[in-house]
Amino acid sequence: MTLITSQAINLSLRGQTQTEILNELAEMAVSLGKVSDPQTFALALAARELQGSTGFGDSVALPHTRSACVIAPGILVARTPHSVAWHASDDEPVFCWLCLMIPEQGAVADTQLLSTLCRKMVNPDFTAALKTRDERGILELILSAIS
């Protein structure tokens, strides 16, 4: 099971709003074969945001969802050159996203592996690396975190 490849990293999203960012993440997921329907996935991510913002603080958000449209678990990493309003825990806008995709009927191991990555988000060095490294550096960071 490959959770992330370099194709799952986009450091130049164009979205200006939360909805546009979620749509771009959904399109990325479909292009990777991880999700069957971009609209359903984007709506599932948006519904999760309504339960409570995934804005982690320090300009980073962790949008995630468990959905029937998710074919295989996966991780996306994205950034924008500008900040986007996200209702984050620190009330600051976001420019870096780590998006988790979990199949509705996913294995417990899928959820545990992805939750391991979530726990890394509390480390300021980890989030700083997400915000500053290039694609190769981000891939190495994520693979190290989940191995």
Residues belonging to the active site:
64
Check if the beta carbon of residue 99 is closer than 8 Å to that of residue 63: yes
Check if the beta carbon of residue 63 is closer than 8 Å to that of residue 50: no
Check if the beta carbon of residue 61 is closer than 8 Å to that of residue 97: yes
The Cα–Cα gap between 100 and 76 comes to: 7
The Cα–Cα gap between 77 and 131 comes to: 10
